[in-house]
Amino acid sequence: MFVYEYKVNPKPIQVSAINEAIRTAQFVRNKVLRFWMDNRGVGKTEMFRYNTLLRKEFKFVDELNSHACQTAVERVLRAVNRFYDNCKKQIKGKKGYPKFKKNTRSVEYKVSGWKLSENRKHITFTDRKGIGTLKLIGSRDLNFYQLDQIKRVRILRRADGYYVQFSVQLEPRDTVEPLVPSQRAVGIDVGIKYFLADSAGNTVSNPQFYRQGEKSLNRLNRLKSKKFRQGKPQSHNYLKARIRYARKHLKVSRQREEFVKSVALRYIQSTDLVAYEDLNVKGMVKNRHLAKSISDAGWSTFRRWLEYFGYKYGKVTVAVAPHNTSQNCSNCGQKVQKSLSTRTHICHYCGFVCDRDVNAGINILQKGLSTVGHTESYKLGEFNPLVSLEQSCEIKVGL
């Protein structure tokens, strides 16, 4: 699936209609979740039947397109199935018990409830919520695709406005020209001082977008807090201050996303095999001294884009165990203990001297080359980053 995203500028009356549609989808989701909680053991069929009863009981639910209500039920099903899967896998800690939503930001339609104009530049929502026609602002031309290829349409609310996303059924490898093999392989070691260092000795500096915008973020947060009224309805000035604060966060996240995307694409296009560490980022951010720096680096996002571009261009991406990649000598294999503050690898056994991160990159490449071909491992390709619209590697094109 490809997700193409367009900006829309709805009128105030359309904004109210979109928000009402989003609240209705949230209402259906929460009611179906409560039905599951009160009747343990009910399955998919009973949930959809309960959704039908809600449409008969509440007029505002019946005004929303039936497929949009079904997608709200599907969100509950995904949450319930994920909870059961985590229990079966005996994952430590919280198992992700489904929770009620209070700040839903999107409503999703299937193949009905919307209609594209002849030139594919406008979309009209045909249910009784009254959203009407919206102009699609973007460079991507939907005329290249058949209507039956568009499987989902989603209206999304962000801090800077509203967007419409189209989920198009398309094989990504058919959209690009096959790359000429470069006969190169590289190992990548991500870090904090450098964003990454590879086995060839190249480094990419860490832009630290959050650190750069932290002063401005703190100022906007203080202004927002000053306008907050405890136990009272919030003023329009508070709402405007909250939007300014959210827009700054959105800008930082977009800067980080575009940066890691460009770096991942460059490595995939210039090499035939990319090896990287299978880091437990979720566990690493529990270190309160490094949590902010790790989150600012965007390691998980970088890995997702590497896997996506590797799948798209037919390149090999290998995740290897990170144990001792920084400690072992890449020249002789002996373990050389060093602290995080030691940035140069000096081997006391063979005399090899190298930058710590470059040494780790060479070790990662060696592990990746020794593992290629053993496809029974999850790290070697069982994960498909394009399985559904809900996966994080959504390709947003057209802005």
Buried b (16+ CB within 10 A) or exposed e, 3-30: bbbbbbebeeebeebbbbbbebbbbbbb
Write out the two tokens for 359.
Answer: 């040494």
Q: What is the residue extent of each domain of the chain?
A: 2-168, 185-397
Cα–Cα distance measured from residue 314 to residue 307, given in angstroms and rounded to the nearest whole number: 10
Q: Taking CA 360 as the corner, what is the angle to CA 359 and CA 362, rounded to the nearest 5 degrees?
A: 65
Express the helix, strand and coil content of the chain in percent, nearest 5 each: 45, 20, 35
Report the first-to-last Cα separation within the chain, whole angstroms: 18
Return the half-sphere exposure (C-beta side, CA atoms, 13 A cut-off) of residue 16. Answer: 3
* Tokens at 66, concatenated: 């039936």
Residue 157 contacts residue 16 (beta carbons within 8 Å)? no
Q: How many CB atoms lie within 10 A of CB 195?
A: 21
How crowded is residue 68: how many other Cβ atoms within 10 Å of its Cβ? 26
Burial tier of 255 (Cβ tally within 10 Å: 0-12, 13-18, 19+) = middle
Handedness of CA 222, 227, 229, 234 (dihedral sign): negative
Asked whether the beta carbons of 189 and 275 are under 8 A apart, the reply is no
| 328 phi and psi angles, rounded to 5 deg | -75, 145
Residue type, 184: R
Query: How many angstroms separate the CA atoms of 236 and 310, rounded?
Result: 47
Tokens for 336?
A: 């050389």
Give the count of beta carbons closer than 10 Å to the beta carbon of residue 185. Answer: 18
- Give the mean pLDDT per block of 10 residues along the chain (399 residues): 90 96 96 93 92 95 95 95 91 87 94 92 94 92 88 94 91 66 88 89 92 94 93 91 95 95 93 91 88 92 92 88 86 83 84 86 88 49 42 46
Extract the tokens encoding 343.
Answer: 């940035």
270: three-class secondary structure by DSSP? helix
Q: CA 228, CA 244: separation in Å to the nearest integer? A: 14
Angstrom distance (rounded) from CA 51 to CA 38? 15
The pTM of the full predicted model, rounded to 2 decimals, is 0.81
d(CA 117, CA 213): 41
Residues 348 and 212: beta-carbon distance below 8 Å: no
